[in-house]
Structure 1
Amino acid sequence: MNDPLRVLIVDDDFRVAGLHRDIVDARPGLRAVGTAPTLAAALRGVQEHAPDLLLVDAYLPDGDGVKFIASQQIDAILISAATDGSTVRRALRAGALSVLTKPFEARVLEARLDAYARFRNLLPEDRSTNQEQIDRALAILHGGGDSASVGRSATETLILSHLGGDEASAAEIAERAGVSRATAQRHLAALATRGLIEVRLRYGSTGRPEHRYIRPGT
């Protein structure tokens, strides 16, 4: 099983930081590695924990969260009370993957975190990728987390339940779920497009490679 993605929360309000930490820890494939109330503490956290993702407040007691994002080679989401376009553009130029404006409901952050986890799943560091995967990953990231639940049919739910934590082919899943191979393949492709499952290739001695399907993080 893959290690969870590490998230560092940078916010000077300890109540907000604690809430965001709890939200992170509740998301599959993510783990909060700490909270930092200042940029100085954030730098120490980066050195100690090597996070994969930063949640950074725009306004901190000892500096500018946007500049901090720009100084780090780490994926980041900016959280800001400022809603003006210049702040948003500045954050994006600094490298922020997303901008959340306060106040927002917990489900909004949950959706962004889920989208980020699927984005990372489609762009693994240890394997090569292709243009289709890149386009799909960017669509998931910028589309937020809602795409995970849109169009989830009873058949897709059935297929996911029979996939479980195993790696399987479309034919194997079709047999388990009691549907045709074409139906299983169609729904598996849709689930993969939304980042809910991974597609892996198994190469045999001859012929075309077999597509294998597996849930992220297994």
Structure 2
Amino acid sequence: MEKTWSVLVVDDDFRVAGIHAEIVEAAPGFRVQDSVRSIAEAHQVLAGTQPDLMLVDVYLPDGDGIELVRSTGIDAFILSAADEAATVRRALHAGALGYLLKPFQRQVLTERLDRYARYRHVLSGQRGLRQEKIDQALSILHGPPPGTAVSRSTTEQLLLDALGRGELSAAEAAEAAGVSRATAQRRLATMASQGVVQVRLRYGTSGRPEHLYSKLR
């Protein structure tokens, strides 16, 4: 069963909070745990079950949303009309994973939620992480903005077309794309670091584990 990510919305404007909650509920794999109007209400909710992610405004009636993010240590996006560079730096220093300026298109938040789900998927499990996994997770979370075209070489596009048929090893993808295995491994590793391709290990009865690749989007 796929993970469903719970979200706490913290915004003193009930209309705005309602819009954000609707976007969360419409995003695949997400649900709204609660929607609150103040720091005090947020702490009441957090005293029970903590969410996976918070969407927090900066200016709240009884305090600073950035300090809420800092003090809880819970994954959070700041959603605010505050556009001062110092405020943005302070939010990122406090641990916010992203900063969206209001007003924004619904698709922008939907896209950030999708990035967050894929980021958490890459950083799941109990095993130690290789550097390429860490790089992949950060690339997914902080990739190009929506609508930014990413140029793909002919070779990369051939490999992506091959992966469109299902999960493949580098050797299988190379054969399907008509390129060498070394080229396939190099290009697949690049696309994995960009958050376009997902990698998992398949352990056999002997020898080194095999890398299997599949499309993330």
Could you say whether these structures have the same fold, taking a TM-score greater than 0.5 normalized by the shorter chain as the test?
yes
Gap regions ≥5 residues in structure 1 = none
1:186 and 1:26 map into 2 onto residues whose CA distance is 37
The answer to whether structure 1 residue 115 and structure 2 residue 118 are counterparts is: no
Aligned length: 211
Is the 1:140–1:147 contact (alpha carbons within 8 Å) kept by the matching residues of 2? no
Aligned twin of 1:134: 134
2:144 and 2:53 map into 1 onto residues whose CA distance is 16
1:27 and 1:196 map into 2 onto residues whose CA distance is 20
Q: How does the TM-score come out when normalised to structure 2?
A: 0.79
Is the 2:163–2:213 contact (alpha carbons within 8 Å) kept by the matching residues of 1? no
Structure scoring higher RCO (CA < 8 A, sep ≥ 6) equals 1
Q: CA deviation at 1:148?
A: 9.1
Deviation digits for residues 10-31 of structure 1, max 9, x if unmatched?
Answer: 1112221121122222333333
Q: CA deviation at 1:48?
A: 3.3
Q: CA deviation at 1:53?
A: 0.9
SS of residue in 2 equivalent to 1:143 = coil
Map 1:151-190; keep pairs closer than 5 Å: 151=151, 155=158, 158-159=161-162, 161-163=164-166, 169=169, 179-180=177-178, 189=189
Aligned twin of 2:45: 45
Is the 2:136–2:192 contact (alpha carbons within 8 Å) kept by the matching residues of 1? no
Distance 1:129 1:73, change over 3 A: same
Sequence identity percentage: 50
Q: Which amino acid aligns with 2:7?
A: V
Q: CA deviation at 1:51?
A: 1.0
Q: Which amino acid aligns with 2:165?
A: H
1:188 and 1:156 map into 2 onto residues whose CA distance is 8
Distance 1:79 1:144, change over 3 A: farther
Moved more, 103-112 or 76-85: 103-112
Q: Which amino acid aligns with 2:89?
A: R
Distance 1:25 1:83, change over 3 A: same
Map 1:1-218; keep pairs closer than 5 Å: 1-144=1-144, 146=146, 150-151=150-151, 155=158, 158-159=161-162, 161-163=164-166, 169=169, 179-180=177-178, 189=189, 192-213=192-213
Q: CA deviation at 1:129?
A: 0.8
1:97 and 1:193 map into 2 onto residues whose CA distance is 18
Q: How does the TM-score come out when normalised to structure 1?
A: 0.79
Is the 2:10–2:56 contact (alpha carbons within 8 Å) kept by the matching residues of 1? yes
RMSD of Structure 2 on Structure 1 (CA): 3.0
1:88 and 1:104 map into 2 onto residues whose CA distance is 16
Distance 1:200 1:157, change over 3 A: closer
Q: Which amino acid aligns with 1:30?
A: F
2:105 and 2:28 map into 1 onto residues whose CA distance is 19
